[in-house]
Every structure is written in C-alpha cells, then in structure tokens.
Structure 1
Amino acid sequence: MGDKPILSISDMSIVFSSPDEADIEAVRQVDLTLTPGKTLALVGESGCGKSVTARAVLRLLDKNADIQRGSIIFAPGDAEATDIVQLRQDSLPLRAIRGNQISMIFQEPMSSLSPVHTIGDQIDEMMVIHEGLKPKQARERTVALLDQVGIPGARERADAYPFQLSGGLRQRAMIAMALACTPKVLIADEPTTALDVTTQAQILDLLRQLQADFGMAMLFITHDLGVVAEIADEVAVMYLGDVVEQGSVFDVFAAPKHPYTQALMSSIPKMARKADRVRLSPIKGTVPAPRDRPQGCAFTSRCPYAFEPCATIRPERTAIGDNHHARCHLLTRQPAEAAA
C-alpha cells in the first residue's frame, strides 16, 4: 500500500451551540491522517470527542454542532481531492461519498439499524442507490456479504429483522452494510464494546481480514487499550477534545510522553504472581465539563506534573521522533524551569 494519505483531518474544531449557554468547543484543532491499508486507533475516555470527530467526517453531526474551522480532505487515488467540510449538507457530492467511499460501523447497531426493515433490505438499498444494481443483483451481493462476515444461514438471515438477531449477529450485519460498496475508508466506532470477549475477538479478526482483502484505511474508535495493541498501526490519544499524543502503537505504548497517556498505561490491569501484585494506579480527579475546560492544556487539573504555563497556554504539537507527537509543556520545558 502507498503511504499517501487518503483522508487528512487538519486543524478541525467542532462547536456545539445552545440558546441558553455559551458555545462549547467539543473538539479542538484536531489533526489526523489515514493511509490505505493502515489502522489508526482513536483512544480516550467516554465523552472526549471521539465519536463527534468520526461523525464529522461524514457530516452526521447534530443540528446544533458546527465544524467551526479546519478541513477534512478526502483524496482517493482515482479522483480529485475533496474538502468534505466545504460540501453542502445533503448535496449529491457528499451523498456520493457517504456510505459509498467512506463508510461507518456505528457504536450500537440496535439503534442504528431500522427496526421496521429487514437486514437484507437495508443492505440491498446501499448497492441499489450507490452502484445502480437491480434488486435481485443487490440481494445476491447481500447474501454473499452476510456469509463473508460469518453469519450462518445468510440467505435466511437476510429476511430477519434486527430484533431477531443476537448482538454479535447484528454487529456483523452492520459490518456487512458498511462494506456493501467496498469503501476506501472505514470508520469503526467502538464496534466491540457491548460484545462478549469471544465475539469481540471474532469481530477484530474479521475486520483485520476484510481490511487485508479490500486495502481500506480504517479509523478505529475505542477506549480499550488492549484492542488498540491488537488491531492498530497508529494511535491518537484524545482528552477533552484535544489529541494530546499521536504516534505508532509501538512508540506510544513503549514510551508514552504525555502524562495522560502515561496514566492510561499505568491504569491497565496486569497479570502477576501474588507476591508481585500491585494496586492499580487510577487517574486522580474527574474530567472537567467541556464548558470548564482549562484555557491551556486540557489535562491540567488532573496532571501531577502541571506547572505555571499549563493552565493558561495551550502546548504546541511537539515532535518526539518520526511520526510521534505530543502536546505537553514538559517536552519544551527549559532547564531553569525544571530546576524551579
């Protein structure tokens, strides 16, 4: 696979407006890059802005949310680059991308799939709309997709409604729908969160195999660092709307530089003999409400290393090595400051 990015999010900020309160910046100047055949994991606590970032790519934000600044450049090798931010909502160019070239596996299939249409009808519709297939052709493709994602009795299951399937089968059906048009970019929003460990492992294996088959770029959203280590090539750590650290999985896991990333690593349970057991090291404090975000570093109120500039000056994106960056004042702290 080439190293040329297929999707580049640059300096993107998303603001939620309210008639009663001040606007809230939910995502702040995010930079992410997706490459064909590679997986970027977006990691962070619940409410940090991961899903909002993903939905922004497909322009599926709530009515009171707005991409206030930045760009989302989609550059498939066979077509001209497009800034998705500049496309008019529900325009034909955006519809041609959404669900066709960029597809999404939503977090909860039971609330994302239509309860009054069969699984087969919902997948058929994707191919009829985007690829112009006749209904019979679309149904044959749907059955093949359901079989490919490991749903037993695929032809019969195509006539089932979502409530007639187990959680694992619904998730597989959602994956089949996302892959119906062979997208170039797949966004997976916590696709294994509500599944048991065995089904989770099967879904991860399936996504890896499908990525290898189709050469897709994948944005995988999760809060499970164990899943990240298993599936991702690169990882971006998000806190309160900020990407605080980004790099290869090896670099970030072996030598995390931001205090939040270090705290996440320290809070992972480890297998050990009874004599070697140690207490988990939780992250002290709580995540501030978005409207109470510090002006400087978002992690200031919980950081054990915070010093004077942290609360008032936002850290610059500092390069640590090849393709490894973090936003932390400690990385640019002068010797005189360290001594103080």
Structure 2
Amino acid sequence: MTKPLLTINDMSITFTSPDEADIEAVRQVDLTLTPGKTLALVGESGCGKSVTARAVLRLLDKNAKIPTGEILFDTGSGAVDIAKLKSDSLAMRALRGAEISMIFQEPMSSLSPVHTIGDQVDEIIILHDRLNKKQARERTVSLLDQVGVPGARDRANAYPFELSGGLRQRAMIAMALACTPKLLIADEPTTALDVTTQAQILDLLRQLQDDFGMAMLFITHDLGVVAEIADDIAVMYLGDVVEQGDVFDVFRAPKHPYTQALMNSVPRLMRKAERQRLTPIKGTVPSPKDRPVGCAFTSRCPHAFAPCPTVRPERTQIGADHVARCHLLTHVREEAMA
C-alpha cells in the first residue's frame, strides 16, 4: 500500500455570521490522497468543494474556523496537522507553494493585473528556492515552455490581460508547478475554457502528473471531466461527502440518490428516435443556515422516508473502496438480514 500524502479526518468548517452564530459549511469530511493519484471532488455549486480545498492551504476567510478534525500532510520527515497551523505562520508559508499548490478557478482574477506573468512566477521560485533573479527567470521560461506557452521568453514579459484565457490558465499551472509540489489542487481549472482548450489542459495536467508524480485534488462539477482524469471520486452535497470510492465503481453503480441524480442529469448522445428530455434534479441546494438535522439531501430526495430528516446516516461500506451515507442502504441491509 502506498503511504497517503494527505489524510483529512472528521474535518468540519464553520463560518461566524454577523449575528455571531456559527454556520456549518463542511461537516465531518474524510478524504485520502496518495502520490500519483487524482481525487475528484464533485457536486453542485454551494456544496463545499472549494472551501474544503482552501482549508488544506489555510486560505479560508477570517470568519472561518476548523473546530474539529485534522488535515495530515506527509512532508517526508513526518506528518503535519495543517488544521493546527495558523494561516500566516512560517510553517504554513513553507508548505504553501512549495509542497502544496493550487490552480484557482478564474486566472484573470487570481493573477495580478499590474505584474507580468514572468515576475509572478519568478517571485515564487525566489521565495522558496532562494535563486537569484536571472536563475529564477530561466526556470520560469522553462516552465512556461513546458506547459505549452508559445514564445515563452516573450510571453514572460506579458501582462495577464494580454493573454488569452487558455494561455492565462497555462501560466497559472506553471506558477503552481514552479517548485514541483507534492500536491496540486485544481479548482475547476477548465470551467471558463472552450472544449478544445479544456482537452489540452486536461492532457497537460495528466502529463505533468506523470512527470512529477504528484497527487492531485481536482474540483469540478463536470462528470465527463471526472471520468477522463480521476482515479477516485468524492461526491459532496451541502458540506457532506455523501459517496466516495473508485471512480469506475461509483460511476458503474452509484448508491446514493444524489450521485444517481447527478448521473441521470448528464446529457447523452442518442439517435433521434431515442431522444429523451434531460432529468434535472428538482429544487436547489439549501443554505447552510437551513441544513437538515439528518441527511443533507432529504428535501430533494425522491426516496426520503421516516429517519431521513432527523437522523444523519452512517457511512455504509459497499465495496473495498466504496462507501456512501444513505439510510436506504442501511434499510435494505436490515431487510435482507430479517
């Protein structure tokens, strides 16, 4: 068994609202990432995917806290509990960018508009690897060339607004890989791109992962992308991981009603005579303020029954690496044993 690189145990994240009440955005999440593997975190907007990822880098808002759980990261010389580190501590700054990097969702708002692409990549290299300006620029040009930026040396002197969306995203990837991190977090890195550029970026990420042997936490709501790039999948709903496991097992036999609903809402190619209407998920994701006491999916689940609104379901083991939180699984198992 490969030793886990990142292990999240029983992690919850709360935000303090203006009325000083704590709102639970993420509830008792358990995730594991191993070197060289990709874990996809999927779900609708507002389900807690980005908040979970930002907690790993301690980039949460000032009114956020991690009241329970641990985020264990293997540095090679021992495990560090990131949940106990302050966001501005020297220990956290040493990890951020060097050991753990992130590709943010929208490069135009994540890159500085008043600094060139080269200067922004140079800064990370100088900070973590202690190279001089000339050495850092040579590595920057090499990285930009490696991620497929044409005319890398000239592009290094360009500002973000002078580049296309695809080139800005490639520059963000180069910045994230500047110090060869062990863990790369990609927060919907292809959402704003056309399908051709999206395919190129996914191929690039797979190739770079093979080259560097890094683990990747890939956040998306596109199940087609998940099928193409992920080894494992965790499905989130309203801050809960409702189902997780090997991507093929989950896609072949989804057990949680929310995962099933996501799969059923994906458009499919059909002959004209076979065409059917899409099956959308009725309703919307509730606000964390209105979180049900029991199963988070209760208000939208077509199979909800007596215990769902009031009792949170336990994790049920379905296969060796496949688990789900659903009262239906427990109910069916109890009936089979009766």
Question: TM-score range, shorter-chain basis?
Answer: over 0.9
Q: Which runs of 5+ in 1 are unaligned?
A: none
Provide the TM-score with structure 1 as the length reference.
0.97
- In structure 2, what is the equivalent of residue 170 of structure 1? 168
Equivalent in the alignment of 2:62? 63
RMSD: 1.2
Give the Å deviation of 1:89: 2.5
Which segment is superposed worse, 149-158 or 67-76?
67-76
Distance of 1:41 and 1:286 partners within structure 2: 22
Percentage of identical aligned residues: 79
Q: Does 1:120 align with 2:127?
A: no
Counterpart amino acid of residue 40 in structure 2: A
Alignment of 1:192-271 (within 5 A): 192-271=190-269
CA distance change for structure 1 residues 335 and 58 in 2, over 3 Å: closer, same or farther?
Answer: closer
- Secondary structure of the 2:67 match is strand
Rounded Cα–Cα distance in structure 1 between residues aligned with 2:166 and 2:239: 30
User: Aligned match of 1:136 in 134, 142, 161?
Assistant: 134
Letter in 1 for 2:330: T
| Cα deviation digits, residues 268-293 of structure 1 (max 9, x gap) | 11101111111111111221111111
Q: Report if aligned partners of 2:39, 2:217 keep a CA contact under 8 Å in 1.
A: yes
TM-score (norm 2): 0.97
Q: State the Cα distance separating 1:216 from its structure 2 match.
A: 0.3
> Secondary structure in 2 aligned to 1:333?
helix
Instruction: State the partner residue of 2:323.
Output: 325
Code of the residue aligned with 1:156 in structure 2: it is D
Determine which of 127, 144, 150 is the counterpart of 1:152.
Answer: 150
| 1:291-323, Cα deviation, whole Å (9 max, x unpaired) | 111100000001011011100010111110011
Q: How many residues align?
A: 336
- Letter of the structure 2 residue corresponding to residue 242 of structure 1: D
Query: Which amino acid counterpart does residue 277 of structure 1 have in structure 2?
Result: R
Is the 2:59–2:87 Cα contact (8 Å) retained in structure 1?
A: no
Unaligned runs of 5+ in 2: none
User: 2:18 maps to which residue?
Assistant: 19
Q: Give the C-alpha shift of residue 330 in structure 1.
A: 0.6
Name the residue aligned to 1:290: 288
Q: Distance in 2 between matches of 1:251 and 1:213?
A: 27
Cα deviation for residue 229 of structure 1 reads 0.2
Aligned-partner Cα distance in 2 for 1:210–1:107: 19
- Contact 2:11 2:30 (8 Å CA) reproduced: yes
Which amino acid in structure 2 is aligned with residue 247 of structure 1?
A: G
Paired position in structure 1 for 2:74 = 75
Task: For residue 266 of structure 2, give the secondary structure of its aligned residue in structure 1.
Answer: coil
Moved over 4 A (4+): 334-338
